[in-house]
Each structure stands twice: as C-alpha cells, then as structure tokens.
Amino acid sequence: KEDKKLLPETVTALVEIKNQTAGILVQSNGKIMEQLFKPYPEVEDKEGYEILLRQLGALTHMEVEKNAIPERLSLLEQYMVERTEELNISERWAQAQPNKSIQSMIGWKGAREPSYWDLHEQVHGPHAIVGGTSGSGKSEFLTTYLMGLAINFSPEDIGMLIIDWKGGGIAHTLSDLPHFMGAITNLDGAGTARALASINAELKKRQALFNTYGVNNINGYMKLYRERHHPREGVLYPREALPHLILVSDEFAELKENVPEFLTELTSVARIGRSLGVHLILATQKPDGVVNDQIDANSKSKVALKMSDENNSRALIKTVDAAHISTAGRGYLRVGESELYELFQSGYGGVAYTPGGAEEEIKDERIYAINELGQAELLYDPREEVVDQEKEKEEPESQLSAVIKSIKAVFEASDYQKPQQPWLPNLPEKIATPMVKVGNERRLKIPLGLLDIPSAQRQDVYNFDLDEHSHTVIFSSPGFGKSTTLQTLVMNLARQNTPEHLHFNLLDFGTNGLLPLKNLPHVADMVMLEEEEKLSKMLGRISSALVTRKALFKAEGVANLTQYESKTKEQLPILVNVLDAYDNLTPQDKRKDAIDELLMQVLREGQALGIYLVLTAGRYNGIRMNMMANIQTKLALFLNEDSDLGSIIGREKLEQVEVQGRGQVKLEQALSVQIYLPAQAENEAQLLEMLEHEIKLMDEAWTGVRPERIPMVGEHVDFEQFETFDKEKFYLGLNKSDAQPVTFELFKGQPLTLLSSNKKQTLFLGEFIAEQLADFEGDIIKIDFIGNLTDVPSSLAIGKEEITKQSVDVREALGALTISQKEEQRIVILNGLSQILAKLQVTAEAFIELLEETNENTQYILLDLFNNIGSPMNLMTKAIKENLQHILFAGDMQSQALVDLSMEERKRKFALQEMFYLNDESLNMLVLPRKGGGEDE
C-alpha cells in the first residue's frame, strides 16, 4: 500500500496479476474496483488473435508524461509563476506562523507537485545534513531552499548565517537578502575564534532573553513579541524580534578538517539549538563519518543529491538510491526512519528572468560551405563578430536576483525590523578616522580605531583617553602602522584641542613618520635621532618641564595637575612627548642611558604633572623591563614574532591578522582593533596631501600662543641674521643653546680676547673684526705680529719687523697709548699676543697691569692662536684666566688649562665660525657671523 503512493499520478489504472488465469483490476481512474478478471483468456479462434494483433498494430503510441518529475525546473516555475510579483511575498510573510512551521518549497516531487521541507523542530527539524558529490547541485539546492524561506518568511521570522570555508559561494549570492545576517568566510586563523565567539554569544543572548521574558523557547518568545502591540497588564514584552536562525555550513567536511574547534561549537548548537530556534544545515560531499553522534541524532532530516557512490548514499539516507541520480538538482529527502522519503527536483534560480514570455529563440545563423568530401566549413559566425568592446556584454538578469530584488523591495516598504546581526562583518582594512572638533574645553579622549567585540556582537569605537590610558607604547613590525597610529593619535588630539590645551614634542627616531605633523601649531618641534644637539636640547626641555612643574605644584601645595588647576583656576598645557621608533636608539649609542633615564622619569612622574610619553617600537625586547612596567597602555599591531605578542598581550592573545593598522589591545579581554587612518583619502599620497592641507589651515588659523621651537643655530651664521644690525654694538655671535645674539660692549675698560684654533680661523677673525669695525670713526692701532689682519682698517699699523727690531719703541708706544688722556676713542688690536709680549719683554703680569690702567677711551682686542696661550705650561694662561673676561676661543680642548670641560666637551671639534665664549665663569658656544654666511666652504 505504501508503494502505491510513490506512483506517478498519470497512472490511471492499477492491475494486479496473480497468475495466468487470475487478475484483479485494483483501481481505475482513481476508483477502487477490486474487479477480478482472467489475464490470458483461452481463445479458441486463433485467427481472431491474429486479427486482434493486426488491429492493435495500427495504433501509434502516444507519449503522455514519461516521468512526472521534471528534468529541470526553474525557481519561478517551481512556484508556478512567471513574474516575481505573483509570488505575493508580503502576504506570505503576513500569514507565516513560524511557531508552527517554517516550511519552504525545495522543488517538485511530481508534475506540479511541490515538495516541502520544514526544519521546525516538531516537523522535520531542527537540524539537517545535506550530501552531494561535486556538481550535484548542492549549493544550488541550499540556495533554493533558503530563497524559499525568504519568500515565505519575513526577516523577523527567519535569519540566515552562512559559514563558508573558502568564501564566495552561497554567502556571496544571498548577501543582499534582508534575511542575510552575516557570513563567516575567512576561517583561516583569526576568523575562527571570532566566529566561535559570535555563535556562542548568540546562543547566550537567546538564553538570556528567554530568561528575561520567562519563556523557555523561541516560540514562546515570538508569541510575546507578536502580542507586544496589544499588551496585557503585568506582562513584559520584548521589542526585538528573534528570528529562527538557519546556520548553513557548505563544505562542512573541509571546515571540520581545517578548523576542528568548529565541530565542538556546532555540536553544542546541535544540542541546545532546538529550543533556541537555531538550526544547523551541514552540507558535505562525503557524509560518511563526518558528523558525530550528537549532530547525527539531532539531524532528523537528510537530503541526498547525487552521491559519489553507494556507500556514501547509504551512510546518509540508508539507501543506495542517491548514487544513481544522474540529474543535477535532483535529490532524496529523508526524514526520520520512515516519516518521509521522496525524490524531488529542486528549482534553479540561475536561469534568465523573462517575465511575460519565454526566452527568445536563438536562431542559428551560421553559414557553412560544403566541400567535395561533404565536410562543412564554417564561413560566417555572427557570434564571432566584434560588436562593441566598450559595452559590457549584457547578462540577462537571473531569476534569483530578480526574486532577491523584490524581497528587498517588499522588506523596505514594510514595517518589519531587521533583527540585530549575530555577527558583524570583519573589521575593514582601511577606516578613516571620524572627524572630531575643537572645543572650549581640553578633551583628551579621542577616537583611535574600531574594536571588534564578537562576544558582545558589537564593533565599537576604540577611544583613546590620555588621562586614562596615560603613557602608551605601540608595537609593530616594520611597515605595519606604528607611525600612522601616532599620526592619527596626534591629529585627533590636535583637532580636538588648541595649542593652549596641549603641546607635542615630536621625537622621530625612525624614518620621518612624524614629519607630516611638524607644522601643527601644537607642535613645539620635531627632532631626529641624528640631530644630536637638537635632541639634547629637546630632552633638556622635557627634563626642565618636569622640574618646573614639580616646583610649581610644590609651591601651591598640590600633588597633581588636576589639583593645581582647580586651586589656581589656571590651565597648564598637557605635554605629549611622541617618540617614534624608540628602539632605533641602540644600546651602543652613548646617549641611550641618559635618554632612558629621562624617559623613566617621565613615565614615573609625568602623569601627575600632565606630561606624557607615547612611543613606538618594533620589538618587545627593544624596551627595557623597568620601562615597560611603567607604561600603562600597550597596543600591538602585527608582529613577526608571535612570542612578542604573547609578552605584550598575555596568554589571551588573539590570532594575528597580517593587515596594516590591525592590532590588539587588552581591555577586559584581548580585542582586535583596526586603527583609523588620520584622514579620509584614496591613497597614501592623497592622505599626506590632505594632512598637509589641514595642518596648514590649522596653522594659519591659530593666532594664540604657541609652544616654543627648539632654538637652533646652524654652523653658519650671516651678519644679515642679526636683523636689526646695530652699528654701535659689537656682535660676538649667536648663542647655540638659545639662538640668541650675544653682544660685547666696547669701551667699558674690558679687553676682548680671541684665541683661534688655527691660521684659517685667525684669518676669519680678521674678516670678522674688519666687518664690524668698518664704520668705526676713531683710530685703530694694529700691532700685527702674525700679519694676517690685512683686512682690518687701521690708522697705525705695526708689523712683525718693527716689533722685533724696535721692541723698545713699540713697548713705549704701547705704554703711552694706555696713559694718554685723549678724548677720542681708539681701538688697539694686538695680533699674536704671546709673541708680541715676548719680543717686547713684557711679562704677563706686567701686561695685565697695563690693561687695568687702560682708560675708557681705549679698547684692546687681543688675538692669538689658542695653542700659544691655552696650554697648561703657559704662564700667560694663568694670568689671562684670572684677569681677563670675555674670551672667545677654539682649538684642541684635550690639552688646555683655560677652562674645566667634561670628557665629551674635550673631544669637541670646532667649525670655522664656532668658538667658546668664556664670560664671568659662564661658558657658551657661539657661532660667529660671517659675511655671506660662509656656506660655500
């Protein structure tokens, strides 16, 4: 009797033949007859037989329907419509009762006889396994099934999640459906943990929601949800629809093999999914041994498309039938032991959508020539004509996309809500920072990136708050976004605060990563590792900022910036020291200890003082342990060494993704984050341009106070640099430490001593003096033993010869000059002081005495080579050291006794225009001006 059901409906009569003489006409035209007859009646008249056969021979056999199940079926044919509107989607959605059934048509089991499948847990569900060898139409079948769900149920009732091992496939096809809740397509490495966390979170969320509303399954929950517009008193109604989730994993066997952890998670879905309304459909080529007992026991439905062999067929549906299928898209649906076993042909959505008419018949317009041998030679083929290369060949729209389009349209025109997505798409690889605006208040909290929180099914802005996160280190291997992260951080802080609120010191030990930020009005200055002097000044400034603030707070009796500001009602700018590529400062670098010591001080004391350090490094070991211990926030971008990541994030570290700007931070848990790009741009070049432009505007717009630049003097200084060149003054040069001009006042009874390092510098000094005395109106007396002061103008010149030959005369002249009461000012220059005194037989003491008696109208300028004066053996040295102020000198600092110098300073080499200036015990390095700057040398 069972078998009768399987007969095609075109069978009109059923005959049972027991033997030659006994038969029963069981059924005719649908009526039960149970009429007995004799199948082979004995015929006496043998000729009558022959006539009978001849008469039958004239009949032509007319083929009715060979097989009730069509060979092929399109998606729309399946629903027996031509146009998508005829599907009446919105009515179907309105009438759906997913608490009772989630039935969907999967194809036809006979002519115009639909085959339905219902994964509702009380019908064919909750879970299913689908098998089919390659080319069997597995993915198409799943697509048709899911499309059926989407046609019949709104997104509030049904949602779909696709786990696609290698991407593409169904996830791609169906992503436009409003029912589509996401896809996990990247299951290498990091994707897995994320997907597992997301699925887990969805299960937990459902359980929690059921608890809140006092229901124990999805049907109860959705009943409440539907009743929310007609509430009863005292009942709490949910606002969020919870759809049945159909979790489809195509290529499950491969998934299991590559990501074994997944099986565990899916097994737990199989176990508890029933009440939670989560349905699993696991599709695979070879089902044999792929699923475990737990999943198998919960998978009441099995669908077998063409299977590769009888074993696989038997493993899935207990019969060998599926091994013998020869048509794509044809399959057996088996439910339970014997609940259902039927063959169907599923509808195919890939055919062209041609509403209101069959597809135009394509005529064969090819022309052949038939040759003598009867062979056809193609002469003309219209399909080979080059039509228009510009125009994309227009693909006719498929039924699938037409149906998806109308489902979308129905959804958009409706009031249905799109339920929250159980998992969000992977973090994008490039995200521009959201814009932030400057305010009246100082605000140190800025958006820095996008966090992925699969366990909470959220993606949130990663806000960086200098107050809270304090000192911060960012690690990455070369080229993965250290500098860019700093750029975003600095830009957003600068966008949100004025230079009154916030200053930056930029220390770039890397490859110019901070350069684009240099012109921000908030930036004091930028310094590179190789700029020794500037770096040391920058460090000095940071150090003195620490000292000054500490003293300031002490004076006010406060412990930190907050207290200071609330007590004094005065705001101090926050100081952010931004240090890129810190580990380029090698342990061999002689500056490292001093720099580390300062950084440690900032790390330990800075936060209370409003002084912060944000630095980057390429490797974990690049930063000393004691420094690491004082850095609150650690951000890891991609690192070649996985062990480094472990040291930074800890055991919870996530699998790394090799994407620029992608990293992880440890908040309550380790989370992955995509750091924002500092501006919206198409490419890197444009990004720089945008930054440059924006910074220029900021710079021009800011009229308030700015942090001071680090004063720097180059090796070369021009007289023109003394902008308001005052002819009355004698300029010594620019002080290298503060870049301020240093002047010497003539005629104050103080001689000026210049000790040069070599002849070349002596010549330069001659030029230097000549330039400054060019407009001097009094007498210049030049006693030039060395003979290289030719450029210096003079009213009286005494040379080497005269000094040697007429030493007595010269000595007397010198004495006379000193005591003369002449009102007019005059300058006396002695070039080659030590030799002049030796020739004149004047002791150092006597000469000093002579100078002390000098009246205010005489100005001595004393010159010599440093070697002649500075050496420890020299008697002059002591006298000069003790009695003269205003000494400019340069030379070999190793063997000199003029001043006490550090080891470092003793190794110093001097450029032509550089000289120390010793004045009242204070020692400064000056750069002396030169006409034309001296750049050409």
Concerning whether 397 is annotated as a catalytic residue, the answer is: no
DSSP state of 123: T
Q: What are phi and psi of 612, to 5 degrees?
A: -120, 160
User: Beta partners for 780?
Assistant: 827
Q: Which of residues 539-598 bind ligand ATP (CB under 6 A)?
A: 581
- In terms of Cβ atoms closer than 10 Å to its own Cβ (0-12, 13-18, 19+), residue 700 is exposed
Cα pseudo-dihedral 604, 610, 611, 612, rounded to 10 = 80
Q: Are 606 and 551 in contact (CB under 8 A)?
A: no
Closer residue to ligand ATP, CB minimum distance, 486 or 893 = 486
409 three-state secondary structure: helix
Residue 757 makes contact with Mg ion by CB under 5 A: no
Closer residue to ligand ATP, CB minimum distance, 476 or 761 = 476
Residue 144 makes contact with ligand ATP by CB under 6 A: no
Among 98, 169, 287, 510, binds Mg ion (CB under 5 A): 510
Residue 478 makes contact with ligand ATP by CB under 6 A: yes
Taking CB under 6 A as the binding criterion, the range among 290-298, 351-359, 507-515, 747-755 that sits at the site for ligand ATP is 507-515
Taking CB under 6 A as the binding criterion, the range among 505-513, 740-748, 766-774, 859-867 that sits at the site for ligand ATP is 505-513
| Min CB(482)–Mg ion separation in Å | 5
- In terms of Cβ atoms closer than 10 Å to its own Cβ (0-12, 13-18, 19+), residue 411 is buried
- Residue 660 site contact among Mg ion, ligand ATP, none (CB < 5 to 8 Å, cut-off depends on kind): ligand ATP
Side-chain half-sphere exposure of 800, counting CA atoms within 13 A = 9
- CB-based burial, 800-837: b 16+ in 10 Å, e otherwise: bebbeeebeebbebbeebbeeeeeeebbbbbbbbbbbb
- Residue 214 site contact among Mg ion, ligand ATP, none (CB < 5 to 8 Å, cut-off depends on kind): none
- Residue 430 site contact among Mg ion, ligand ATP, none (CB < 5 to 8 Å, cut-off depends on kind): ligand ATP
User: Beta partners for 247?
Assistant: 161, 280
Q: Which residue is nearest to Mg ion (CB)?
A: 483
329 three-state secondary structure: coil
Closer residue to Mg ion, CB minimum distance, 317 or 514 = 514
| Residue 447 token pair | 């958006």
Q: Are 743 and 731 in contact (CB under 8 A)?
A: yes
Q: Are 451 and 612 in contact (CB under 8 A)?
A: no
Among 483, 834, 835, 868, binds Mg ion (CB under 5 A): 483
| Min CB(480)–ligand ATP separation in Å | 5
Closer residue to ligand ATP, CB minimum distance, 130 or 649 = 649
What is the full DSSP assignment across 484-513?
HHHHHHHHHHHHHS-TTTEEEEEEE-SSST
Q: Alpha helix (H) ranges present in 650-706?
A: 684-701
- Based on its alpha-carbon atoms, the radius of gyration of the chain, rounded to whole angstroms, reads 47
Closer residue to ligand ATP, CB minimum distance, 482 or 541 = 482
User: Beta partners for 612?
Assistant: 576
Residue 511 makes contact with ligand ATP by CB under 6 A: yes
- CB-based burial, 910-934: b 16+ in 10 Å, e otherwise: bebbbbbbbbeeebbbbbbbbeebb
d(CA 401, CA 875): 103
Taking CB under 6 A as the binding criterion, the range among 55-63, 273-281, 473-481, 907-915 that sits at the site for ligand ATP is 473-481
Taking CB under 5 A as the binding criterion, the range among 58-66, 194-202, 508-516, 645-653 that sits at the site for Mg ion is 508-516
| Min CB(851)–ligand ATP separation in Å | 59
Residue 481 makes contact with ligand ATP by CB under 6 A: yes
| Min CB(638)–ligand ATP separation in Å | 9
Q: By C-alpha distance, which of 463, 659, 493, 473 is closest to 580? A: 473
Among 163, 545, 675, 848, binds ligand ATP (CB under 6 A): 675
Q: By C-alpha distance, which of 391, 497, 504 is closest to 439? A: 497
54 three-state secondary structure: helix
Taking CB under 5 A as the binding criterion, the range among 43-51, 513-521, 544-552, 764-772 that sits at the site for Mg ion is 513-521
Residue 245 makes contact with ligand ATP by CB under 6 A: no
Q: Are 464 and 445 in contact (CB under 8 A)?
A: yes
Q: Which residue is nearest to ligand ATP (CB)?
A: 661
Taking CB under 6 A as the binding criterion, the range among 29-37, 192-200, 244-252, 477-485 that sits at the site for ligand ATP is 477-485
Among 299, 476, 835, 896, binds ligand ATP (CB under 6 A): 476
Among 329, 513, 766, 891, binds ligand ATP (CB under 6 A): 513
Residue 660 makes contact with ligand ATP by CB under 6 A: yes
Closer residue to Mg ion, CB minimum distance, 110 or 516 = 516
Residue 686 makes contact with ligand ATP by CB under 6 A: no
Closer residue to Mg ion, CB minimum distance, 688 or 712 = 688
| Residue 33 token pair | 């007859």
| Min CB(480)–Mg ion separation in Å | 9
Closer residue to ligand ATP, CB minimum distance, 483 or 896 = 483
- Residue 221 site contact among Mg ion, ligand ATP, none (CB < 5 to 8 Å, cut-off depends on kind): none
Q: By C-alpha distance, which of 814, 5, 66, 93 is closest to 340? A: 5
| Min CB(679)–ligand ATP separation in Å | 11
- Residue 876 site contact among Mg ion, ligand ATP, none (CB < 5 to 8 Å, cut-off depends on kind): none
How far CA 144 is from CA of 141, 167, 512, 642, in Å, comes to: 5, 19, 56, 44
Among 206, 256, 482, 537, binds ligand ATP (CB under 6 A): 482
Among 126, 513, 521, 751, binds Mg ion (CB under 5 A): 513
| Min CB(581)–Mg ion separation in Å | 6
Q: Are 441 and 497 in contact (CB under 8 A)?
A: no
| Identity of the amino acid at 3 | D
- In terms of Cβ atoms closer than 10 Å to its own Cβ (0-12, 13-18, 19+), residue 205 is middle
Closer residue to ligand ATP, CB minimum distance, 545 or 639 = 639
Closer residue to ligand ATP, CB minimum distance, 260 or 478 = 478
The one catalytic residue among 251, 342, 767, 914: 251
d(CA 302, CA 934): 91
Please identify which residue in the block is written with the tokens 């010591």.
597
287 three-state secondary structure: coil
| Min CB(482)–ligand ATP separation in Å | 3
Q: Are 121 and 274 in contact (CB under 8 A)?
A: yes
Residue 243 makes contact with ligand ATP by CB under 6 A: no
How far CA 937 is from CA of 300, 466, 606, 919, in Å, comes to: 92, 48, 45, 29
| Min CB(506)–ligand ATP separation in Å | 14
Q: Are 339 and 302 in contact (CB under 8 A)?
A: no
- Residue 484 site contact among Mg ion, ligand ATP, none (CB < 5 to 8 Å, cut-off depends on kind): ligand ATP
Taking CB under 5 A as the binding criterion, the range among 36-44, 69-77, 98-106, 511-519 that sits at the site for Mg ion is 511-519
Residue 462 makes contact with ligand ATP by CB under 6 A: no
| Min CB(127)–ligand ATP separation in Å | 40
Side-chain half-sphere exposure of 379, counting CA atoms within 13 A = 8
Report how many residues bind ligand ATP under the rule CB under 6 A: 18
| Bond prior to 126 in cis (omega within 30° of 0) | yes
| Min CB(481)–Mg ion separation in Å | 8
Q: Alpha helix (H) ranges present in 380-507?
A: 399-412, 466-469, 482-496
Closer residue to Mg ion, CB minimum distance, 510 or 573 = 510
Residue 661 makes contact with ligand ATP by CB under 6 A: yes
Please identify which residue in the block is written with the tokens 């150090």.
543
Interface ranges with ligand ATP (CB under 6 A): 430, 476, 478-484, 510-511, 513, 581, 660-661, 675, 677, 684
Instruction: By CB under 5 A, name the binding residues for Mg ion.
Output: 482-483, 510, 513
**Among all residues, which ones are annotated catalytic?**
251
